Homo-oligomer: A and B are copies of this chain.
């Protein structure tokens, strides 16, 4: 039978959810799915199911799915794997639209028993057309739907996350939340016996709320379907960022024992990226940092970086990291240098060649800092200005929080009016005095829409990939 047609709302905004395999021990179920859904603010109808019946966390508990009179939109199966096929049959009989098989113990174990159980599930899906997420996964995180698999930040944002791994999804959501990146919808889909990355990416490609789609993938059964979904993202103006693991032999083997997936050939993946313009990253953190670049910088017209900041050594290191990341740090023309010379004193140890060290000194940012931004941005010599402030500086210069606060104010006061994009590198404070001051500075920048990175490497990598992506969009 053909699969039931579903859309994002069926996955992320069901009106009724059954928790099949809710514990009869209320204390236990508080941290189980019933408690988790209550905590995450689910506003629809919630039906715990346990043969013992009774009440759980103030809710009527049903002895079986069939015993529930209402319609069930979504079911979560939290059962020993051997009981999953029967429960899935019950869901099909009840006409549940989407089933999240939370249980693990299927093909990923590599055992005959696990593989056989997964084949049974697959046969039920093929026969009944019921749609399933998993098995072996955390399922849905949906701000609008009031659903989450954990106590995670809940704020709408233009990014969606499709992740084969559950722990990785949680990490990405948390890591993003401190960098201005919020996932209104996220899904961990595990072994992907039915719903797989192509289905999910395709749905997000048509979602008006989604501008960026982040995908963590270990393997995919139908590579061509993912290719088509990626092309759809491109056609619809959605950026697709992919962390594809399994490019080394041991990682390929680890993938198989994690979700039972086949990692696929590295060559095929390279062709995939070259043709779809999808942005390839290597870690979950890079995935988030790429979203920062997309959301806060959007596009760059080229690879020429103007570096402004405090500290000659850091400026030199930043130059080298930019160049190693395939960006350029061109020496400024004589005309631009002559302009910059007017706002600094060459005798003060400042550099004006690019990198530029000007206008941030012992007392914090001075007018020269702002003027340098204007001069460099108005020249045709760079495509983006990357500025760096070191939290150490205000400790070196006597420990006044004003040092950083004033510099950030100067930066925020000027960056929006410039004809070139700007990004800031501001590493975490490492001391008791500097930690909170730096965190507040990050928040101020993010609130104003300024891209902040915590290291030169992460900034250089994200900006370089943004340049690749911008070039790809020019070509297609």
Chain A residues at the B interface, C-beta cutoff of 8 Å:
31, 80-81, 104-105, 108-111, 114, 136, 149-153, 163-168, 170-171, 174-175, 177-178, 216, 218, 243, 245-251, 253-255, 257-259, 282-285, 310-317, 319-324, 328-331, 346-349, 351-355, 362, 390, 392-393, 395-399, 427-428, 430-431, 455-457
Contacts and interface: CB of A to CB of B under 8 A. Distances in A.
Nearest to A454: B428
A308 to B, nearest CB: 13
Contact of A314 (B171, B392, B430): B171
Given A316-B218, A320-B248, A353 B257 contact: yes
Would you list the 10 A-B pairs with minimal beta carbon distance, nearest first? A165-B313, A104-B349, A167-B311, A105-B347, A168-B313, A258-B312, A150-B396, A251-B320, A248-B323, A250-B329
A310 B167 contact: yes
24 contacts: A31-B397, A104-B347, A105-B349, A150-B397, A152-B396, A153-B431, A167-B390, A167-B392, A167-B396, A170-B392, A171-B314, A174-B430, A248-B324, A250-B328, A250-B331, A251-B329, A255-B316, A257-B351, A258-B316, A258-B351, A282-B320, A282-B321, A283-B317, A284-B313
A19 B348 CA distance: 19
Nearest to A349: B104
Contacts of A246: 316, 320
Given A351-B254, A457-B283, A314 B165 contact: yes
Given A168-B317, A247-B320, A258-B312, 13 more contacts: A31-B397, A111-B346, A136-B349, A150-B397, A167-B311, A167-B314, A171-B311, A218-B316, A246-B316, A246-B320, A248-B323, A249-B323, A284-B317
Contacts of A164: 313
Contacts of A177: 430-431
